[in-house]
Every structure is written in C-alpha cells, then in structure tokens.
Structure 1
C-alpha cells in the first residue's frame, strides 16, 4: 500500500512540474485560434462537442469529421467566448477523421500558421489545448515515428499521451506552426498519441464527383463549391435531380454568389424560375414575377457570354419551351416572341445551332419547307447532331414528292451520329428506318436493322419485336428464322391468337399443314370468331385435298367478314 501511495505522489509531482513549465511566447497569442466545436441534430439538440482550430484569418478551421457526421448545423467558440456559426463544409475525409470548414466571422481572427513541409522524427513538439485562462496546460514532447499518410503528407507518432478532451487539439512546432491534429492511441494503451497532417486536412476540397458521396451527404450543413467553375457546374447539374424546387433555387442563388461571372448560373436560374413557377409561387401574380425574373436573368447572362447572339438564342429557347403551356397568357412568352429573339440572335451571330431551333419552330407551325431548309443548315455544319438529321427526315417526309431513299439517307446520318454511344434514341431511329425499308421491300436490310435494334436494346425487347421481325424474315424467305421468332413471341405472350395464326402461315408456306392446323386450333380456342384462321384452315384442307372441309371453312370465314374468303370460294367451291 505504501508503495502505491509513493507512486501516486511521484506522479503528481511530475505532473506539477510539467504544468509549471514555461510556455513558449507565441502560445499566449495563438491560444485564441483554438476552438470548441459544437454540432447539432435536426431538433437542435447537441450531437457532439470537441476541438478544432482556425488556419486562416478569414475563418477556415480544421476539426474531426466524426464531430460533423449526421450534424445539421454547427458553431465554434473561441477562447474569448465568441461563438460563430459554421457556414459550409470545404472538404472532409472520413477515413482519417479530418474535416475543413468555413466559419462565418465578422473580422479577421487569430489563426495557426501551417508548417511548409513534413517534419522528421526527433522534432520537438507541443500540444496546445483549448484554454480560457492565463495558464495553458500544454504538453511537450517529440515526434518518435513518421509514416506516410497520403501523397507528401505524413502521420506522426508523439511521445506523450492525450488527456481527456484533447483530441483534435493542434500539434505545433517550436516556432508555433501547426503540423497536425491530435488523435488518441487507437490501441488503447494510451502510452503515446498521434497526429494526422494538418497540411493534408487543409488541402481537402470538394470535387464535382462528391455530390453523391456519403461522406458529404451524411452532413446536413451546406457544402462548398469546387474551386473551378467547370467542376462547380457539374455539381450544379448533379444536384438538380436530388433537391426540391425551393432547395435547388437556394443552390442556384449560392452558385451565382460564388461564381457571379459565369453565365450558366443565370441561365439555369432563369429556366428554374420559368419551368417551376407553379411550385415556387403562391399564385398567378407571383408566377408572373418569376417569369419576369427569368427574363432578367437571361439578360444578365448576356453580360458574361462570349457571343452576342448567345443571350438572344438562350432567351428564344426558353421562351419557346415555356410557350407550350396553353394556360399562359403573356405576350413575352409566345412562339412569336421566341421567333423574334431567335431572329435577333441570327442577326447578331449567325450560328448553325440557332437554325436547328428555327427549324423546330417552323416544324411546329407545319411550315415543313422552311423547317427542312434550316435543319439542313445545321446538318451541313460541325454541330450537326442525330436530332437535326432526324428532324430533317421528318420535315422532308411531310413535303410533296418525298423520296423514301432520301429519308433513309437522313436516318442513316442520324443513326451514325449516335452509334458511338448506343441509346434508346438511336434504337427508335433504327425502327423508323425499318419501316421505310419494308415499304421499299428491302427485307434483308430490314432484318439487319431489327438485329441492330435488338443489340442496341441489349436484348430487352417485347413480344411485338419478334412478331414484326418474323414478318420481315417471312417476306425475305427465311422461314426457319421466321418460325423461331414467332415462337419467341408466343412464349412471351401465349394468349395472343395473332401469333398462332402467324405461326400457321409459316407452316403452310413450309408445306406442313398438320402443324399449321394445330396452330390454327390454338388460335381459335382463344378467339373463336377469328375469321382469318378459318381461311387458313380452308387453305390447309385444300392442300390435303379435303374439298368439303375446305369449303365449310371458307364459308365460315366469309360469314365472319374475311375479305378474301369469297374469292377462295369462287376458286375452289364451284
């Protein structure tokens, strides 16, 4: 017992000596940079409390990610008792438990300068905890081990353990430069402590790809934008599908505040005002105000656009899109207003892409000649697209003297433009080309297109697909292929009598009437009044030289309204 008491006395003496050590001169000034961090749940109750510290005079601070996970808001308090809100998250790393945040401060604050490079083992270091008094209970020791953290950043083992509440306190050099955030000994031995590189924590920043990263989505506090406008725009587009109208308007406002010279911010907000006015507004009067704000944003975007015509083109595009709303009664949002803006865009800077929109307007007005002429201006330029070729085909189709071969050539170009990235859009163009090929009796090419459609759809096709490809193969003379396809259609939709009738037609062509009759009976069991099946049955009986049965079948087909039955009666039953 005496030995235990002696040990405790020695320990207390050692701790007293440590507490009495003279603090470096810089510590008295820099202690104001150390903060208590408080994070809150959605109901405003406290989630976590811990430490952090300022690393810039404008309020950038480092702390632990674990304090902020699931938090809806946070604030910090400095040694003088001043409390400031955390406004947004700059960057975070859950693995190394570090986070960089922006704190809203009214003026310049005390901060800890960062070391310029990694430190070697043996370097003398200090831990400076949060302190409101004159005496700072700092710790002093040295780096005993250095390991690689990431890139040129390091992870440090320190000679002294942490006391309760010292996690994430700054670790500093003799010159008062911060090199790490203090972390506990994960082994539980508590013989040493560790420090994760403060330079690494300070380098953290969001990228456009982080929009759906759970590291960030698990924090309810607003996130910083990526540093570059291009990356920020990607984030903006990604967030559009994840936020409601009010939230996304706030996001757009924030983007514009951060990047006031980027025209896309104003264009996106104008579109948001216009298309979401019914959700954002409380009534018709406020909807009108939002439409006015949309036009104002379009005009503002023109100040930062590279081309004079861009503002007019973007205005025309938005007005034309919104003008489809038949309930809208505003002269500024009509097709005529869109056409006027578009003509001004062409006057300012005649770009081929402007003519595609002009073609769309003419097409909607059924002015197919002018629509076709404008689509072809686009098609003869380097901005030609699958859509411009397709719409040219549709306009030409509605013009007098349309040539099917010419339409196929336009569809060829539409499909070729999309082929590097196969899509459902490409597949639809292929089906339109199939229809034209069937009209021209290009059955082999039609089957090839059906095969292409199947590949583009990744095999995800309906029973109707197999039915229509079967008909193309039937006309081509590929009876085995036709039979295989109609059986696929039957497998997918066994209650459709048309498929059994089509199967019977193939068997008749293959001179296998017994199988044809079996297919006919299946069709009639589903649809007893299927007139064409009685006609097919009659044809089978004629092939089998069963005249009476054939004539009875033809007569039944005639009674049910089959248009060919009377001719067959005249030919075989007189």
Structure 2
C-alpha cells in the first residue's frame, strides 16, 4: 500500500511539473500562445493573463476578467513583440472568456480537437509568461453545457498562473481555455471549451451587453448585414464617440450599403455640418434611390434656409410611398418661411387630411399648428374647431396657455360664452396670473356683464394692487353701470399707474 501511494506521488511530481522533455508539437504550438496585459484609460496596468491565436488574421481568445474596465490591451508573443488588441469580437462573463482581434498581419493559430478525449487521459497546458512552459495534467471529469460544449476538470497541482492558457490533448489539439482555480490550495483545475470561446461574436444588441459595455476597447461590427444594421441603429442611442466609431466601421465593412451614409448624414446634420450631411445623403441615394432619402435631403436644404429647393423636393414626394402628414407639414413650413400664408394653409389642410376620423393623438401637433395659423389669418371659428379637436385628444395634458389661445379665437369669432368659460379655466389652472383676470374683466365689460366685471376687477386689484388694468376695468364697469363717482376715481388710479387709456374714459364719463 505504501509502495502504491509512493507511485501516485511520483506520478504527480513528474506529470504536473514543467517538463523538460516536451511533446514534438510544443514548439509549433508555442508560437500561438502569448501573454496578455490590459490597461486603464490612464495607462495603469489592470491585469495580466495568457491567450492564444485561433485564426490567421489576429483572432484570439483569452480570459474575460482582465478586460473589465480596460481601455487598452496588448499581446506579447514568445519573441517579446507587442501587438495591440484592436477590436473585441465577443465576450461571455459567466464562463470568463473573450474573443478579440490583435493588430497583426498574419498570426500562427492553434488547431481545435475534432473529438473529445477520454476521461483519465493525459492533457497539456501550454503557458507563456516570459518563457514557455508545458504542464501535464489528467482529465478527471467532462461536463456538457449549452448542448454542444464541454467543461473540463483536471487533477493539477501547479504554482503557475494558467488562466487563459490553452488546454491541449496529447496530439497538440486545443480542447479548452483555462479558468481560474477556486482557491490557492485547490488540486483541481478547470477549462471551458475553446470552441465555445471561438464561436463568440458580436450581434446587433452587443452594444447593450453589460459584459461588453464594461470593456472600453473598440467593438467589431457583426459580419451579418442585418445584425450590423441593428447595431448601427442601437449605436445612435449611445454617446457620440461610440456612434461615430460604429458608423465608420460599418462604412468600411459595408461600403455599398446606404445605411452607413444615412447615419453619418444624420450625425453631421445634428452637429450643423450641413454640407457633409448633404454629401452623405446624396451617396445613399446613389446607392439606393429611395424617396425617404430625398425627404432627408429636403430637411437638410430647409436647415440651410433653401426653402424653395426644399419645397420642390417635398412636392416631388406628394404622390410617393412616403406621402404623409409630416411631409405636407414640412412643405407648409417652407411656404411659411416664404411668407405665402395661403399656400401654407392649403398644405396644412392636406396634412390633416392624411388622418381619418376619429383622430388619433398623432394628429394633435398638426391641429395646434393649423389652429395658430388660422388664428393669425383671422379665421377664428376655424381655429376654434381645430382647438376643440386638439382638446379631445390631449385633455389630460392641457395647460392654461391652451385655454387662453382658444379664448382668443372664441373672442375673435364672437363666441363669447365659450370664451368666458375658457378664460375661467385658464384662471383655474394659473390663479396667480393677473393677465387672465384682466382679460376676463375686459370681456365681461364688452358683453355688458358689469357686476361680474366689477367682482373680477376687484379680485385683480387685490391680487396685484400696482397693476393698472384692475383699476381701469373696475372704473369702466362702474361708470357703465352708473356708478360714475367711484368709476372715475378708479380710472384716475389707473391713470396714476401709467394706463394711457384711462384719461379718455375719464373725459367721457366725467
């Protein structure tokens, strides 16, 4: 029994130590392994690990943990040469693996094992930390995960830091990527299937992946066009630097696709670089003559104050598949800038005609615009109709200003009772606004409701004693009611407070 135990001890001492007699394939495989170092944005070393190339164009895999919060990473090969990590290709924090591309023209890559090894078979761990080392271990257990991949457990006692190193079978083919040990004294080592790390890739949603967002190194564009287009869309909600980078990479990867030019045009437009925006939208239209690109070109022309040209573009789209309320609205804005109110109103009519009744909330902004245009054109009752429709759509979101605008339209249309109702509603919503009390008092005087005018004017005087309108309408209502002495006295106060109308009323009723 003692002899057997001694045999086991000797086996571990030999097999788990850095071996002098290495397998014949070790020299070739050693070229694919490198030391990895990661750094923060200010250059501070964050972590170190091993990694290895899995492709001929710098594709490599390693441990994810050192990349967390890293802004830069370098791979140091066995000749001591440093290569920057230029792009992240995918990551999985749960299994602590990451795939990336190193800025190297041609890289020596490993070969993946075609078949699973047997339990209790020998395996090798290839490490490079300044010098190359080979560590032998024995497979103790293999477990399946994600259906197609294997998680390896090995018997191992080694002081070497093997995280990120390749786990190889007896033929030098890669099985897995070494994982951290559970504790310093642990006699077991673990590896996740290298094929799992190798299949990691960027998708359209990768920019929102917490694991990838924690890595501040440039992310690759997905190879699939649909996924790349989705990433381009999502990048628009990220910071400007990320968005600019994604657009640039998309254009390099898909130079014949219009989406990249459209996105770059929109970004240039948002920064006021209209000439650049125009160039890119023209490029997009050349690649794919879609009407919505002409619409965007019209928007750029509008921003450049080229209203006639913008209108011509919009007009050319009236019978196109993108005929819409927004299209007619923008055309109406061109006419407004050209001071053509007749054409502006006609185009707003066409804008609202794009909606069927009952109206939906999408029509509300256009109703409000047309109401204001009609009000300015003295089409008071038409303006009231629009404002009534707007009220029905936006009832829970109305403020005092809305009721004041409709009050003005109703007064102009001689809809006095409705006007009184609306100015009272405005007062209810803004009870400290003295201007609304003055408007109400003025209307009450106009329609001959003198007692109500006196009450409203007194409230206004109490609210704002230095506001001349309170005394003006109080005095005027009193004079009209026959209370000339009190009325003239209040008109005199209005005059003293600077009201220019008060003197004429004093002379009239004195």
Give the alignment's TM-score, normalised by structure 2: 0.74
1:484/1:504 Cα in 2 relative to 1: closer, same or farther (>3 Å)?
Answer: same
Counterpart of 2:388 (choices 428, 447, 463) is: 447
Asked if 1:143 corresponds to 2:141, the answer is yes
Aligned to 2:10: 13
1:66/1:473 Cα in 2 relative to 1: closer, same or farther (>3 Å)?
Answer: farther
1:269/1:79 Cα in 2 relative to 1: closer, same or farther (>3 Å)?
Answer: same
Residue 102 of structure 1, CA deviation: 0.6
Counterpart of 1:520 (choices 452, 460, 468) is: 460
1:323/1:555 Cα in 2 relative to 1: closer, same or farther (>3 Å)?
Answer: closer
Task: String of CA shifts for 1:205-249, please: whole Å, max 9, x gaps.
Answer: 2233333555334433222112234543554563697246xx977
Aligned to 2:352: 412
Checking the alignment, whether the CA contact within 8 Å between 1:447 and 1:473 is kept in structure 2 is no
Moved more, 18-27 or 183-192: 18-27
Higher relative contact order (CA 8 A, sep 6+): 2
Give me the whole-angstrom Cα distance separating, in 2, the residues matched to 1:212 and 1:82. 34
Aligned to 1:284: none
Give me the whole-angstrom Cα distance separating, in 1, the residues matched to 2:182 and 2:174. 22
Checking the alignment, whether the CA contact within 8 Å between 2:59 and 2:101 is kept in structure 1 is yes
Aligned residues: 489
Give me the whole-angstrom Cα distance separating, in 2, the residues matched to 1:320 and 1:486. 43
Asked if 1:477 corresponds to 2:477, the answer is no
Moved more, 155-164 or 65-74: 155-164
Match of 1:206, SS state, is coil
Aligned to 1:534: 472
Match of 2:50, SS state, is strand
Aligned to 1:242: 239
Checking the alignment, whether the CA contact within 8 Å between 1:125 and 1:171 is kept in structure 2 is no
1:39/1:514 Cα in 2 relative to 1: closer, same or farther (>3 Å)?
Answer: same
Checking the alignment, whether the CA contact within 8 Å between 1:184 and 1:190 is kept in structure 2 is no
Give me the whole-angstrom Cα distance separating, in 1, the residues matched to 2:77 and 2:459. 87
1:502/1:523 Cα in 2 relative to 1: closer, same or farther (>3 Å)?
Answer: farther
Give me the whole-angstrom Cα distance separating, in 2, the residues matched to 1:420 and 1:187. 63
1:137/1:497 Cα in 2 relative to 1: closer, same or farther (>3 Å)?
Answer: same
Aligned to 2:317: 378
Task: Write out aligned runs for 1:265-304 (5 A).
Answer: 265=260
Give me the whole-angstrom Cα distance separating, in 1, the residues matched to 2:320 and 2:173. 59
1:452/1:248 Cα in 2 relative to 1: closer, same or farther (>3 Å)?
Answer: closer
Give me the whole-angstrom Cα distance separating, in 2, the residues matched to 1:54 and 1:557. 89
Match of 2:389, SS state, is helix
Checking the alignment, whether the CA contact within 8 Å between 2:475 and 2:489 is kept in structure 1 is no
Task: Write out aligned runs for 1:365-514 (5 A).
Answer: 371=311, 375-394=314-333, 402=342, 406=346, 409-413=349-353, 422=362, 428-436=365-373, 439-442=379-382, 443=384, 445-453=386-394, 459=397, 463-469=400-406, 475=415, 477-478=417-418, 479=420, 482-490=423-431, 494=432, 496-504=433-441, 512=452
Counterpart of 1:305 (choices 271, 278, 287) is: 287
Checking the alignment, whether the CA contact within 8 Å between 1:520 and 1:537 is kept in structure 2 is no
Question: Where does the alignment leave 5 or more consecutive residues of structure 1 unmatched?
Answer: 279-289, 325-334, 336-359, 364-370
Aligned to 1:34: 33
Checking the alignment, whether the CA contact within 8 Å between 1:36 and 1:77 is kept in structure 2 is yes
Give me the whole-angstrom Cα distance separating, in 1, the residues matched to 2:291 and 2:355. 30
Checking the alignment, whether the CA contact within 8 Å between 1:162 and 1:190 is kept in structure 2 is yes
Give me the whole-angstrom Cα distance separating, in 1, the residues matched to 2:371 and 2:288. 43
Task: Write out aligned runs for 1:77-476 (5 A).
Answer: 77-79=76-78, 81-113=80-112, 115=114, 122=119, 124=121, 126-131=123-128, 136-144=134-142, 146=143, 148=145, 150=146, 152-154=147-149, 156-161=151-156, 163=158, 164-173=160-169, 176-186=172-182, 190-211=186-207, 213-236=209-232, 238=235, 242-243=239-240, 253-265=248-260, 305-307=287-289, 320=301, 360-362=307-309, 371=311, 375-394=314-333, 402=342, 406=346, 409-413=349-353, 422=362, 428-436=365-373, 439-442=379-382, 443=384, 445-453=386-394, 459=397, 463-469=400-406, 475=415
Moved more, 427-436 or 97-106: 427-436
Checking the alignment, whether the CA contact within 8 Å between 2:139 and 2:154 is kept in structure 1 is yes
Checking the alignment, whether the CA contact within 8 Å between 1:79 and 1:130 is kept in structure 2 is no
Residue 322 of structure 1, CA deviation: 8.4
Match of 1:525, SS state, is coil
Residue 473 of structure 1, CA deviation: 7.4
1:519/1:551 Cα in 2 relative to 1: closer, same or farther (>3 Å)?
Answer: same
Give me the whole-angstrom Cα distance separating, in 1, the residues matched to 2:149 and 2:165. 17
Match of 1:220, SS state, is coil
Match of 1:196, SS state, is strand
Residue 30 of structure 1, CA deviation: 2.9
1:515/1:208 Cα in 2 relative to 1: closer, same or farther (>3 Å)?
Answer: farther
Checking the alignment, whether the CA contact within 8 Å between 2:163 and 2:179 is kept in structure 1 is yes
Give me the whole-angstrom Cα distance separating, in 2, the residues matched to 1:380 and 1:223. 42
1:556/1:448 Cα in 2 relative to 1: closer, same or farther (>3 Å)?
Answer: farther
Give me the whole-angstrom Cα distance separating, in 1, the residues matched to 2:427 and 2:272. 50
Match of 2:381, SS state, is coil
Task: String of CA shifts for 1:91-124, please: whole Å, max 9, x gaps.
Answer: 12233321101123333413132658xx699474
Match of 1:96, SS state, is coil
